[in-house]
Structure 1
Amino acid sequence: MNHDLNVEDEKRIALSKSKLRLLFVGAVLFVAMGIWMVQLDVADIEAHSRYNNPVMMHGIGVVAILFFGLCAVFGARKLLDNRPGLILNSTGLLDNSSAVAAGFVPWSEVVGFSIFEVQNQKTLVVRVREPGRYIAAGGMFKRILNRMNYKLCGSPVVISANSLKLGFDELLKISQTYLHRYGDK
């Protein structure tokens, strides 16, 4: 997909395979824990003074299997993906950093950046002029996650440095530099 890329002033940020491997292994471990929880005997669960509700324990196990199973699938897909996680150039940014990556976002659409932080994990929020356009992009699962991002962060376009070969502060600095240089002229 060519977006009149200006390769003379282009920053390509690779996906961090080591970070993705850790995320994948963590997801697989949580799936294993979910399977263990689902297989627990009802009598064993009820015998404990704490966490003695079998329906709750089995329900948590099923949710863990489904959620972390999806995380493992998407993690495996990203591990096999050889494209850069993020490209910034004179025309915009091309996000390929996650399962709900926004794709190409032209600088003319970007209003600015903000930071969303949960438990010391920072995420770059790309504030866009027409959030509805990005919420509607992709399949049903991606649309649901984009809508959740919008409600939680104020934008459907969010980029985490967790899957990229750089830290959050560097991601923010590079993004602001490119927006200042090429945004809304």
Structure 2
Amino acid sequence: MVEHKVGNGVERIEILISRKKMVIAIILSLVFVLIGLFLLLHHRQFAPSGYILLVAILAIVFFGACAVIGIIRLFIKRHNRIGLTIAEQGIIDHLSFGFIGWSDMIAINIMSTSTTQFICIHVHNPSHYLQHKNAVQRYLLTKSEQMYGTPITIAASSSLKYDMKQLQKLLENGLRHYRETV
């Protein structure tokens, strides 16, 4: 984490991407791609229906995309190691959503799956954050919204060099400070 101070207060906090976590995510994505390839080649041995074939293709496409994005972030964008910036007007999610203003935020909470924790940011206008995404991203983010109540999730436990609970407190304090000053 890097804090940029101006006067007596903190103007901006930058949280860096964890290289170790990114490498692990890339490796896991590649493992799922290999599993998908195995299922694609041997799907008839498991079930005669097309269900296994569909799962195999989805695994290859989704986790392949995750691996490619991870590799780009890790090796090509070496100069930009910032994953999240907390600023006076809101946050900047450098990995997915870009700028999210405090004025648009309703609530912040942590959700968990069996493998990872992530921060959910509930906003007044979720569709605004979907309009610049491609069709596959919009579909996945819409599913995320149905499951978690918001399309905006930050998988800090698997990508950022920062503790989830502390990050949640930083974000909640930023939101509270914004509300108190408006």
> Do both proteins adopt the same fold according to a TM-score greater than 0.5, normalized to the shorter chain?
yes
Note closer, same or farther for the CA distance 1:156–1:33 as it changes in structure 2 (3 Å cut). closer
Question: Residue 180 of structure 1: which of 176, 179, 182 is its match?
Answer: 176
RMSD, aligned CA? 2.3
How many residue pairs get aligned? The number is 170
Pairing of 1:117-156 with structure 2 (within 5 A): 117-119=112-114, 121-156=116-151
Q: Percent identity?
A: 25
Q: Is 1:104 aligned to residue 122 of structure 2?
A: no
Query: Unpaired runs of 5+ in structure 2?
Result: none
Question: Residue 110 of structure 2: which of 92, 108, 115 is its match?
Answer: 115
Larger proportion of strand: 2
Deviations 1:5-53 (A, max 9, x none): x8632110011111010010111122122222323385xx2xxxxx454
SS in 2 for 1:85: strand
Supply the distance in 1 between the matched residues of 2:36 and 2:55 (Cα, whole angstroms).
7
Partner of 1:90: 88
1:120 Cα deviation from its structure 2 partner: 6.2
SS in 2 for 1:165: coil
Supply the distance in 1 between the matched residues of 2:67 and 2:102 (Cα, whole angstroms).
32
- TM-score, with structure 2 as normaliser: 0.81
Supply the distance in 2 between the matched residues of 1:178 and 1:124 (Cα, whole angstroms).
14
Partner of 1:163: 159
Deviations 1:109-148 (A, max 9, x none): 1112122222263221111111221222322233222222
- TM-score, with structure 1 as normaliser: 0.80
